[in-house]
């Protein structure tokens, strides 16, 4: 009897951000191959009887070759085992899931993809930023400056001209270069941006600045994500006033003691 491989997104780090399905599959796993960035609190949810191996990849550190990871997935499944490939965030966003999917298909191994909360969403939530806002940005671009082909370059001009909020994964610490490329592509130098370090974890940090001042940003602990766009600034300037549905705008907050649900919702 053949087993099954589950490509599971573990989310950004907070175990409470695991999906219900991810938790159920993880607790029934017989083999778990996990990335380095998976936290101990999540790894502790794995059954003690399961075979657990770290096959993670992390910039600047020795890691397991992708071909070896593919081989392990294919090797375990024919023994009738439930194999979990546990990745940070969502496995299909900069998680090299495509290579594993191709290998599993070639080997005729049954598999399932379980989506997770990607770090861009967790970072935005941590910084209290709405990635889209109808008067600021109607699109979001997930991108990274790391490519398999060193000669491949980021199409900054296309991204900037789209007016989308940019969520830059694995931005590294070359902030001066990133700022220069963004400005050269037509982005206003005073555009707001935020660096989010270890989103959703107990030691998360958030640094807000502008593209012009980005080169002065500190080197926060990795993993980090860089958010760029007008929505970053917009979320800091919205007043804390009741929303008037009738006029579709903020209204003056009522005097203490006069607040009623009807007044907040309808501005009566």
Per-residue pLDDT tens for 54-100?
997 665 556 789 999 999 999 999 899 999 999 999 999 999 999 99
* Closest C-alpha among 103, 95, 226 to residue 170: 226
Helix (H) or strand (E) holding 97: helix 97-106
The tally of CA atoms less than 13 A away on the side-chain side of residue 262 is: 2
Comparing 149 with 238, the larger pLDDT belongs to 149
Cα(42)–Cα(26) distance, integer angstroms: 9
Tell me: do 133 and 211 sit in the same domain. Answer: yes
Average pLDDT over residues 200-205: 95
Q: Which pLDDT belongs to residue 145?
A: 79
**Is there a contact between 197 and 119 (Cβ–Cβ < 8 Å)?**
no
Final residue in a domain of this structure, among 117, 150, 178? 117
pTM of the entire predicted model: 0.84
225 and 211 belong to one structural domain: yes
Would you give the DSSP letter of residue 4? Answer: E
Q: Is the pLDDT of residue 227 over 70?
A: yes
Rg of the chain taking only CA atoms, in angstroms: 22
Are 206 and 268 within one domain?
no
**Structural domain range at position 70:** 4-117
Give the tens place of pLDDT for each residue, 205-215: 999 999 999 99
Residues 128 and 26 in one domain: no
CATH code where residue 142 lies: 3.30.950.10
Question: Residue 2's pLDDT band (boundaries 50, 70, 90)?
Answer: confident
What pLDDT is attached to residue 262? 44
Q: Tell me, what's the pLDDT at 126?
A: 97
Clarify whether residues 139 and 217 are in a common domain.
Answer: yes
pLDDT-wise least confident of 34-43, 47-56, 216-225, 235-244:
235-244
From residue 135, give the alpha-carbon distance in Å to each of 130, 152, 188, 239, 248. Answer: 12, 33, 17, 16, 13
pLDDT at 148 (0 to 100): 62
Q: Give the per-residue pLDDT at 86.
A: 98
Query: 4, 83 in Cβ contact below 8 A?
Result: yes
- Mark which of 117, 141, 160 sits at the end of a domain: 117
Catalytic residue among 4, 14, 21, 57: 57
How confident is the model over 234-261, as pLDDT tens digits?
545 444 344 444 455 544 544 444 444 4
Residue, of 145 and 185, whose pLDDT is higher: 185
pLDDT grade, residue 139 (50/70/90)? very high
* Mean per-residue pLDDT, 224-240: 76
Q: Catalytic: 135?
A: no
* CATH at 105: 3.40.1010.10
57 counts as catalytic? yes
- Residue 91 sits in the same domain as residue 192: no
The count of domains in the chain is 3
**pLDDT at position 22:** 98
Question: Can you read off the two tokens belonging to residue 7?
Answer: 């490509």
Q: Are residues 23 and 74 in the same domain?
A: yes
Using the 3D structure, point to which of 117, 146, 181 is the last residue of a domain: 117
């Amino acid at each position: 009897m053949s087993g099954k491989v589950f490509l599971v997104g573990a989310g950004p780090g907070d175990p409470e951000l695991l999906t219900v399905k991810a938790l159920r599959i993880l607790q029934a796993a017989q083999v778990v191959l996990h990335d380095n960035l998976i936290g101990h609190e999540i790894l502790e949810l794995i059954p003690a009887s399961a075979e657990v191996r770290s096959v993670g990849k992390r910039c600047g550190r020795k890691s397991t070759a992708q071909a070896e990871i593919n081989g392990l997935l294919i090797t375990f499944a024919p023994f009738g085992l439930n194999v979990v490939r546990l990745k940070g965030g969502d496995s299909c966003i900069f998680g090299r899931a495509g290579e594993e999917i191709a290998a599993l298909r070639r080997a005729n191994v049954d598999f399932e993809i379980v989506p997770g909360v990607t770090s861009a969403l967790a970072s935005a939530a941590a910084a209290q930023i709405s990635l889209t806002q109808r008067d600021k940005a109607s699109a979001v671009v997930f991108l990274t400056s790391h490519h398999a082909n060193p000669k491949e370059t980021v199409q900054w001009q296309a991204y900037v001209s789209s007016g989308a909020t940019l969520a830059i994964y694995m931005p590294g610490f070359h902030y001066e270069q990133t700022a220069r490329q963004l400005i050269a592509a037509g982005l206003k130098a005073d555009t707001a941006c935020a660096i989010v370090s270890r989103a959703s974890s107990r030691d998360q940090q958030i640094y807000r600045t502008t593209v012009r001042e980005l080169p002065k940003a500190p080197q926060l602990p990795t993993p980090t994500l860089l958010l760029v766009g007008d929505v970053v600034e917009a979320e800091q300037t919205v007043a804390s006033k009741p929303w008037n549905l009738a006029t579709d705008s903020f209204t003056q907050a009522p005097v203490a003691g006069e607040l009623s649900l009807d007044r907040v919702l309808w501005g009566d």
